[in-house]
Amino acid sequence: MFDLTGKTAVVTGGGSGIGAAIARVFAARGARLFLLDLDEGAAAGVAGEIRAQGGEARALGCDVRAADQVAASFARVAAEGGGPHILVNNAGLVHVGDIEGTEEEDLDRLYQVNVKGVFLCARAALPLMVAQGGGVILNMASIASLIGVPERFAYSMTKGAVHTMTMSIAVDYMRKGIRCNCICPARVHTPLVDGYLSKQYPGREREMFQELSEYQPLGRMGRPEEVAHLALYLCSDEAAFVTGQAYPIDGGVLVT
């Protein structure tokens, strides 16, 4: 089950965190990976790990905010790997603050990556998928696209847009053999979390990590690999009847 042999998968933000975990899990199931990341060195490190384990992966430096870079990256994917058969729009930014604590520059910065980046990558991938008879797009949303989360105004706005883009793509392209879903995680322990804590709460990292963990009723943050295994299901043929859906993976947040 969940065999991705012969399929080319593009993962944005594939150099760390959830994106890197998805790349490793997909490669273990036979996928050919292209890791797009602003930090090409980080993506190259993950790609090297995958190749060392016998998988196939390449790193491409790409700023998902830039239409020309996105177009060039997907042209290279099509030329070198075929497809793509799978696109995982994972690259994203976080901002902490309510509406009064959100500057115009904050809103623009998050929009450029979290919304425009998803748009540009999906727009580049869809004609290639249509030409080959189908494909799968998986977007990384958030529980903040489903419920109100304190002090996440700009982040929630962008992830709400990701959720509705997911439904729109699903409706527009299902007759062309393309499925589109999104995953809505609660807090997941990634290097982004550790960097945020060290910057915002120097000397109090452990205390604040525990506080963030306890937001989830299960008492901990999610692990990137747990999100990656849900992504594997949604991008595999076992999920062939699933499209236009938002899948929470939230440690019980939505049921309390």
The residues annotated with a catalytic role in the active site are 155
Asked if residue 216 lies in contact with residue 149, where contact means CB atoms within 8 angstroms, the answer is no
Separation CA 73–CA 61 (nearest Å): 8
CA quadruple 226, 231, 233, 234: dihedral, nearest 10 = 150
Choose among 163, 157, 125: nearest CA to 141.
163
* Sequential DSSP letters for 104-147: HHHHHHHIIIIIIHHHHHHHHHHHHHHHHT-EEEEEE--GGGTS
User: 119: burial class by Cβ within 10 Å (0-12, 13-18, 19+)?
Assistant: middle
